[in-house]
Amino acid sequence: MPTLFRRLGTTSHCSPLQRRLRASGLGDAESLMRLAVQRGCGYYRDAVQGEVLDPGKNTISNDELSIALLHGGQEWSPALI
């Protein structure tokens, strides 16, 4: 599945936030959606099931989680928007 950047025809890059997410075990969109649901975001509740290890809000804030879900480097998925 192509990334949003690729679908838009722009250059993809790996941001420092993406690197930190991958280091925390949250490298894919599905794990980010699971974390959002665990933290109280009901929007993704129908798209994913299960849980993921929450690294804590000091490591990944809710604002950073939101940015990561909308980041163009993620696999293209209308469910993320």
Cα three-residue angle 30-74-41, rounded to 5 degrees: 45
Question: What residue numbers bound the domain in which 13 lies?
Answer: 4-80
Dist CA 47 CA 37 (whole Å) = 10
CA gap 74, 76 in Å, rounded: 6
| Residue 80 CB coordination number (10 Å) | 20
Question: How many residues does the structure list for the chain?
Answer: 81
Q: What is the pLDDT of residues 19-35, one digit of tens each?
A: 889 899 998 889 999 99
Q: How many domains does the chain have?
A: 1
pTM, two decimal places? 0.78
Residue keyed to tokens 């838009």:
8
> What pLDDT, in 10s, does the model give residues 38-70?
999 999 998 899 999 999 999 999 999 998 888
